[in-house]
């Protein structure tokens, strides 16, 4: 069966510091991968998605970036965090572009 | 552009009451998918159901049921005989190709 992992689970970072969140999927090949952000009490905003290694599509302009160095690994990064980057970050995967399955999420607080 | 509207921000019920969550969508696509997800306090989104645009048959799964009406662009979700464990945020989503558009979510609180 498929499993999706995200780490860390929680993170507190100062403004201006770098960020690296990692997501890995097990039990499937060539999945579509997604990064979402959920601000407190809000819905989900799609940040990036990837249909293959090295292929990244950005949905909203921001100071975040994503990379997919391996088939089942998706990384969300920032060189300098802003206060507005605080939120709950969710990674998801899908096959054939249909329903998406989500990881446990990373709760990021930028102080 | 695709849009999903969940007009109910919060619903509070007493255990064993039924609760219906509304979802209205907009799309110009002729083929699309509709979804419901549950987000318990732990935060992880749990997939509940997928519906294809060409299949308007309603579905029941235990205490959960879904009513898809293409004529009104609605995909409503009913929890029958609610339980405290049903307390969560529920999201409706619309998808085509690789992406999903989510509604703002409805927070359901079930009181004992």
B97 to chain A: closest CA residue: A97
Could you give phi then psi for residue A83, rounded to 5 degrees?
Answer: -60, -35
Chain A nearest-CA distance from B14, in A, is 23
Sheet with A19-26: strands ordered across: A3-7, A19-26, A73-78, A64-70
Burial of B53 (0-12, 13-18, 19+ CB in 10 A): middle
pLDDT of residue A32: 93
Residue A97 pLDDT grade (very low, low, confident, very high; cuts 50, 70, 90) = low
Query: pLDDT tens-digit profile of B52-88?
Result: 998 888 888 899 999 999 999 999 999 999 999 999 9
Query: pLDDT tens-digit profile of A41-71?
Result: 778 999 999 999 999 999 886 789 999 999 9
Q: Is A69 on the interface with B (CB under 8 A)?
A: no
Which residues, in sequence order, are bridge partners of residue B92?
B36
Q: How far is CA A92 from CA A2, A22, A88, B61, in A?
A: 12, 12, 13, 24
pLDDT of residue B98: 78
Q: Is A31 on the interface with B (CB under 8 A)?
A: no
């Amino acid at each position: 069966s498929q499993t999706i992992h995200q780490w860390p689970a929680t993170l507190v970072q100062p403004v201006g510091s770098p960020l690296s969140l990692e997501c890995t999927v097990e039990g499937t090949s060539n999945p579509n991968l997604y990064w979402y952000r959920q601000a407190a009490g809000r819905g989900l905003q799609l940040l990036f998605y990837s249909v293959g290694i090295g292929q990244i599509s950005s949905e909203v302009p921001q100071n975040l970036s994503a990379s997919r160095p391996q088939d089942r690994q998706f990384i969300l990064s920032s060189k300098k965090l802003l206060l507005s980057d605080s939120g709950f970050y969710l990674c998801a995967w899908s096959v054939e572009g249909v329903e998406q399955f989500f990881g446990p999420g990373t709760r990021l607080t930028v102080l | 552009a695709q849009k999903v509207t969940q007009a109910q921000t919060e619903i509070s019920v007493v255990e064993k009451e039924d609760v219906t969550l509304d979802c209205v969508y907009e799309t110009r696509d002729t083929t699309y998918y509709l979804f419901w997800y549950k987000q318990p306090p732990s935060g992880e989104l749990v997939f509940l159901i997928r519906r294809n645009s060409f299949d308007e048959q309603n579905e029941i799964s235990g205490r959960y049921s879904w009513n898809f009406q293409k004529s009104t662009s609605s995909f409503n979700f009913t929890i029958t005989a609610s339980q405290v464990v049903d307390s969560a945020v529920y999201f409706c989503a619309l998808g085509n190709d690789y992406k999903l558009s989510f509604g703002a979510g409805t927070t359901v609180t079930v009181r004992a």
